[in-house]
Structure 1
Amino acid sequence: MPRSRSLPQLHDRLFLTDGGLETFLIHQQGVALPDFASFHLLDTYEGEALVRDYFRPYAAIARRHGTGLILDTLTWRASADWGALSGLSAADMVRINRRAVALLEELRDEFAPVPVVISGCLGPRGDGYVPGTQMTVRGAEAYHQPQVDALADAGADMLTAMTLNYVEEAVGITHAARLAAMPIAISFTVETNGRLPTGQSLGSAIRIVDAATSGYPSYYMVNCAHPSHFAHLLDPRESWVRRIRGIRANASCRSHAELNDAAGLDTGDPVALAATYAELRQRLPQLTVLGGCCGTDHRHVEAIAAACAPVAA
């Protein structure tokens, strides 16, 4: 069984995450991230300094509002296929994943006494918005197992698979996490109609993953979509809805296709986004993991904390 019972976010205390690291660094800091892969920053002292400076405001927000903090490793695209695009070997990817965890361990020491959970981040093998060529469950398990093992061996507290867009990959990743005896959160993305990019409903996806894995995921999340795309579907009377514990929404109400075609970054309205989070938290008190995704930054997370920490108190 996973070490789920040791995850503090499974209780009542609110835990914040960061915002959209990649979009912030690219559009607001002018940092080049080939293939949207932030793990390249781990190759240089200057890159790691950028990462430290990026996370520090979030620790300050958590300290001010009395929340915990979940730090995700810079490994959303640190799997074999994405590394190969930069000529990196399997051994290189193991090294990168291990260094990503070590960096966050250093930041956890710096951020004390804020409670910090280190989450090893996994992403889809393909495009986060387009399912493309879909793997079988066994294929997904085999593909993701090396990264899962590297993050587990490095000492991550848990894993989070983000921006997943079809069920077989989610099930395969969950099987890989089970083999590594690691707690895992599964986070799906949805389109403006609240359905996965495959057209499958969010509820169906969660139920299928739970059925195929004996309910192994510690919890589920929704990320890389605006709450207006899915909030209306979250009926607290539904058992699958009660499995959702985290939201990392986009700042923008635009569709994935519109965001891909946009010339600039749409940062939306932080206060309005936070109000939506607070309404969801009132309706779904199990939502204890709140943060942002594309287009969000520390301003959005500050607003979310201000709106939701009193709800959690």
Structure 2
Amino acid sequence: MVVLQLNWRRMELNFRFLLSGADVITTATYQASVQGFISHLDVGCDEARELLMSGVHLAKETVETFPSGDRSLLVAGSVGPYGAFLHDGSEYSGAYAQGMSVEELKQWHKPQVECLAAAGADLVAFETIPSVKEAQAVVELLREFPDCNAWLSFSCKDEKHISDGSPFVDAVRLACRSPQLLAVGVNCCRPAVVEPLLDSARAALGPGVSWVVYPNSGEEWDTEQGWHRSELAAGWTPELSDAWLKQGAALLGGCCRIGPAHIAALREQLKGSSTSSSDLADSNT
């Protein structure tokens, strides 16, 4: 089955990320959902849940077989936004949330979180969340899983706003209502916007909550053209991590179009930083 083949491919890629120095690997479940499997693979609910859980099982198998030495390795169960299920790039706009209630978004995410938690993920990664409404839904949903810890990262449109146009500071303030969130931040945005985004919301970061930062390569997603880079857009470089560390980032890494070689370069950069105590998260692609 294609899904299992993708999971095995992810297992191989995760091993390469671990070799490059990653401490946290994510599951190949960003666009996966129980409803999506049922709709597109013509499987029953139980099989759909097993497929979703297989992402965690394979990631944990990778960690367990990797010669980690004294490194503490974690598996983050990836939960993408509702827009990822739509396959139309709307995780970079959040437009769909206008027609959905918080409760509807909450119920949409619930089966995915149930499966990842039941399969033994060390934490849940709510990724590329584009709207305050969807962030509220996952924060409320976490209360139903009191043994789960998580991070929540937003997709952002510019230096001060998440993708639906809401101020990043408001999104961070809402996210920090949850005592189960270990980190809040950004992913799959242009690297150049990270520093001003974190500055804009510094006062809203709750006690005991750190920043999670893993932007993409600097390219932008277009539903017609795919990934493309503007000539004026600055790309991802490991040196950018120095500023993010000073701002309080505890989870650093890369998202789309960032590979093991980038993570290896970031690991080397962090070795030279006297302020580094951060974990490296791998890409979710």
Please indicate the TM-score interval, normalised by the length of the shorter structure. 0.7 to 0.9
Deviations 1:199-246 (CA, angstroms, capped at 9, x unpaired): 1111111112334x4x44221020000221231232399332564421
Matched, 1:147 2:112: yes
Q: Partner of 1:128: helix, strand, or coil?
A: helix
Aligned to 2:27: 73
The answer to whether the Cα contact below 8 Å between 1:79 and 1:147 also exists between their aligned partners in 2 is yes
Aligned to 1:57: 16
Aligned to 1:98: 53
| Partner Cα separation in structure 1 for residue 43 and residue 193 of structure 2 | 37
Matched, 1:179 2:141: no
Say which of 190, 193, 202 aligns to 2:168: 202
Deviations 1:275-296 (CA, angstroms, capped at 9, x unpaired): 1122221x22x31211111111
Q: Partner of 2:152: helix, strand, or coil?
A: strand
Normalising to structure 2: TM-score of the pair?
0.80
| Partner Cα separation in structure 2 for residue 196 and residue 237 of structure 1 | 12
Equivalent residues in 2 for 1:246-261, closer than 5 Å? 246-252=212-218, 254-256=219-221, 259-261=222-224
Structure 1: gaps (5+ residues): 1-39, 63-67
Q: Partner of 1:133: helix, strand, or coil?
A: helix
Matched, 1:310 2:275: no
| Partner Cα separation in structure 2 for residue 167 and residue 302 of structure 1 | 34
Q: Where is the helix percentage greater, Structure 1 or Structure 2?
A: 1
The answer to whether the Cα contact below 8 Å between 1:250 and 1:294 also exists between their aligned partners in 2 is yes
The total of aligned residue pairs comes to 260
| Partner Cα separation in structure 2 for residue 78 and residue 262 of structure 1 | 23
Q: Partner of 2:109: helix, strand, or coil?
A: helix
| Partner Cα separation in structure 2 for residue 118 and residue 273 of structure 1 | 25
C-alpha deviation, 1:309, in angstroms: 3.1
Equivalent residues in 2 for 1:105-184, closer than 5 Å? 105-111=60-66, 112-113=68-69, 114-126=71-83, 127-134=90-97, 135-181=100-146, 182-184=148-150
C-alpha deviation, 1:50, in angstroms: 2.2
Q: Which segment is superposed worse, 191-200 or 231-240?
A: 231-240
C-alpha deviation, 1:142, in angstroms: 1.3
C-alpha deviation, 1:192, in angstroms: 3.1
- Cα RMSD (Å) of the superposition? 2.8
| Partner Cα separation in structure 2 for residue 267 and residue 307 of structure 1 | 26
Distance change >3 Å, CA 263–CA 231, structure 1 → 2: same
| Partner Cα separation in structure 2 for residue 264 and residue 271 of structure 1 | 13
Say which of 262, 276, 279 aligns to 2:243: 279
| Partner Cα separation in structure 2 for residue 171 and residue 117 of structure 1 | 26
Q: Which segment is superposed worse, 88-97 or 120-129?
A: 88-97
Deviations 1:51-108 (CA, angstroms, capped at 9, x unpaired): 232122211122xxxxx61111111111244332343443233111211111111111
Normalising to structure 1: TM-score of the pair?
0.74
Distance change >3 Å, CA 157–CA 293, structure 1 → 2: same
The answer to whether the Cα contact below 8 Å between 1:42 and 1:100 also exists between their aligned partners in 2 is no
| Partner Cα separation in structure 2 for residue 287 and residue 51 of structure 1 | 26
C-alpha deviation, 1:272, in angstroms: 5.7
Distance change >3 Å, CA 267–CA 197, structure 1 → 2: closer
Structure 2: gaps (5+ residues): 84-89, 278-285
| Partner Cα separation in structure 2 for residue 202 and residue 271 of structure 1 | 22
The answer to whether the Cα contact below 8 Å between 2:25 and 2:59 also exists between their aligned partners in 1 is yes
Distance change >3 Å, CA 236–CA 208, structure 1 → 2: closer
Matched, 1:290 2:244: no
Q: Partner of 1:204: helix, strand, or coil?
A: helix
